[in-house]
């Protein structure tokens, strides 16, 4: 794209690392349009950290672009093994019977951890919304307000206690997902802070431990660590809140979560972090069979309609998280646009429930589901 002085100024505000104008111009020239800046510049900033000091500008740009290309490999929608794409295809391959004899208008309330919510549709655990959407005023708080105003369960991902406090001030009943930080003190501090501020539950996304190359991941500059079952059990025992494990995609892990006393799991591949990750709905029925009687089984990844939510619930999910799909609404109309979209999705879900003979969110029946062969 064309790098004007105005574009360069905006980019300087977004990249948040010390970088010469020459390098920044070189990087920006590789972007297709200005809309991409807020999303891509933070990743470029990460990649720049590995460029040795003193590297000349052209070389630095080339190194960053090489890293960006590698990051994108296997991630394009058409690449074999792309888990987001196969998850979409799996949703679209599920068809539903109608069941209209003795049908009734469904009720949508959901009971979770002793509280009542107006829908089983929830926000997914997002983070860093400000970085990727700099034009949205206090995006993480807007996202929480949407769930608070709707009376839906809210989830939040990586972030500091100060941000979490502002999220809790919205009144959103929030489940806080803490990263598997190497820094154990930070984990305990975040668990205790969540308790003090009255979170609905806490948990950890165990699927953010490794890089694609099998090394320990560094997320936004913070080192992660492998958390053994014993360590996860110690978090479960430490907190009086329900502890949820996010990133479960096998009966193997679900059974281990039950064994350590987790009070919920999220069946998720975290938006396709691993190529060839199985679509969550493909493993959901076996996971529900294994642990569904002892804990809620949540699902996220690719849910963007009431039909998707229905399919997950029919296959045994307790409730579903919606993340990426809500971001454009947040950008366009803030909290109220997100709330409206989630409420629309609930209405769609209710429509499917009415037409398939499901009277409430506890009464889904997997036998309405047919896989397109
Ligand atoms: C911008 C963004 C930030 C995210 N941050 C976190 C996080 O901090 N912790 C977490 O557990 N998941 C995080 N996720 C993953 C989501 O919770 C979710 O698992 C994933 O996006 C798949 O759901 P979706 O397709 O509805 O977005 C993030 C996703 C996005 C798009």
Do both 248 and 148 map to the same domain?
yes
Q: Is residue 260 part of a domain?
A: yes
pLDDT tens digits for range 327-351: 999 999 999 999 999 999 999 999 9
Nearest to 209 by CA among 222, 226, 221: 226
42 and 118 together in one domain:
no
d(CA 311, CA 315): 6
CA 126 to ligand 1 centroid distance, Å: 5
Based on the domain organization, do 105 and 162 belong to the same domain? yes
Is the same domain home to 15 and 114? no
**Residue 77 covered by a domain:** no
Are residues 10 and 125 located together in one domain of the fold?
Answer: no
Same domain for 48 and 154, yes or no, is no
Distance 232 CA to ligand 1 centre (A): 21
Pocket test for ligand 1, best of 269, 271, 280, 319 (most atoms within 8 A of CB): 271
SS3 call for 34: helix
Both 61 and 207 in one domain: the answer is no
Q: Is residue 217 part of a domain?
A: yes
What confidence score (pLDDT) does residue 68 get?
75
CB 244 within 8 Å of CB 262: yes
CA distance 244 to 225: 18
Please tell me the total count of domains within the chain.
Answer: 2
Give tens-digit pLDDT for 59-105: 888 888 877 766 665 566 667 899 999 999 999 999 999 999 999 99
* 103 phi/psi in degrees, rounded to 5: -70, 165
Of 134, 178, 270, 298, the one to substitute when testing ligand 1's pocket (max ligand atoms within 8 A of C-beta) is 270
Residue 35, pLDDT above cutoff 70: no
pLDDT in tens, 235-260: 999 999 999 999 999 999 999 999 99
For 16, the domain range is: 5-72
Question: Helical H runs in 324-366?
Answer: 327-355
Q: How many helices (H) and strands (E) does the chain have?
A: 14, 14
pLDDT of 74 reads 53
Q: Is the CB of 246 under 6 A from ligand 1?
A: yes
CATH code, domain carrying 322: 3.20.20.70
- CB distance 267 to ligand 1 below 6 Å: no
Kindly report the pTM of this predicted structure: 0.86
Instruction: Quote the tokens at residue 133.
Output: 């959407």
| Residue 81 CB contacts under 8 Å (≥ 6 apart), including other chains | 74, 275, 276
Residue 18 is predicted with a pLDDT of 82
Which pLDDT value is given to residue 67? 78
β-bridge pairing 94-96 and 319-322: unpaired
On the question of pLDDT at 26 being above 70, the answer is yes
Same domain, 136 and 283: yes
């Amino acid at each position: 794209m064309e790098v004007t002085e105005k574009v360069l100024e905006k980019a300087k505000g977004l990249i948040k690392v010390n970088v010469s104008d020459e390098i920044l111009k070189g990087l920006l020239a590789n972007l297709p349009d200005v809309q991409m800046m807020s999303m891509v510049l933070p990743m470029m900033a990460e990649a720049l950290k590995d460029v040795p000091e003193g590297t000349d500008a052209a070389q630095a740009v080339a190194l960053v672009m090489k890293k960006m290309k590698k990051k994108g490999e296997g991630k394009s929608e058409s690449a074999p093994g792309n888990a987001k794409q196969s998850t979409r295809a799996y949703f679209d391959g599920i068809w539903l019977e109608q069941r209209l004899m003795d049908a009734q208008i469904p009720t949508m309330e959901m009971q979770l951890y002793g509280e009542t919510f107006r829908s089983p549709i929830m926000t997914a655990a997002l983070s860093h919304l400000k970085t990727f959407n700099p034009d949205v005023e206090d995006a993480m708080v807007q996202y929480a307000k949407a769930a608070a105003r709707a009376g839906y369960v809210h989830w939040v991902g990586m972030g500091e206690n100060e941000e979490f406090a502002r999220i809790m001030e919205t009144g959103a009943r929030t489940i806080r997902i803490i990263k598997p930080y190497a820094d154990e003190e930070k984990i305990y501090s975040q668990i205790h802070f969540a308790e003090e501020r009255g979170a609905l539950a806490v948990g950890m996304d165990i699927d953010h431990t490794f890089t694609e190359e099998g090394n320990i991941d560094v997320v936004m500059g913070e080192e992660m660590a492998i958390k053994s079952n014993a360590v996860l059990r110690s978090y479960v025992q430490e907190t009086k809140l329900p502890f949820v494990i996010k990133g479960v995609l096998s009966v193997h892990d679900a059974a281990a979560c039950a064994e350590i006393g987790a009070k919920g799991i999220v069946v998720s591949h975290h938006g396709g972090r691993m190529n060839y990750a199985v679509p969550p709905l493909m493993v959901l029925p076996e996971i529900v069979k294994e642990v569904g009687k002892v804990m809620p089984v949540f699902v996220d990844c690719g849910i963007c309609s009431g039909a998707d939510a229905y399919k997950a619930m029919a296959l045994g999910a307790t409730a579903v998280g919606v993340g990426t799909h809500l971001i454009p609404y947040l950008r366009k109309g803030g909290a109220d646009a997100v709330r409206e979209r989630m409420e629309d999705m609930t209405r769609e879900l209710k429509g499917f429930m009415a037409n398939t003979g499901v009277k409430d969110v506890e009464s889904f029946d997997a036998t309405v589901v047919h896989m397109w062969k």
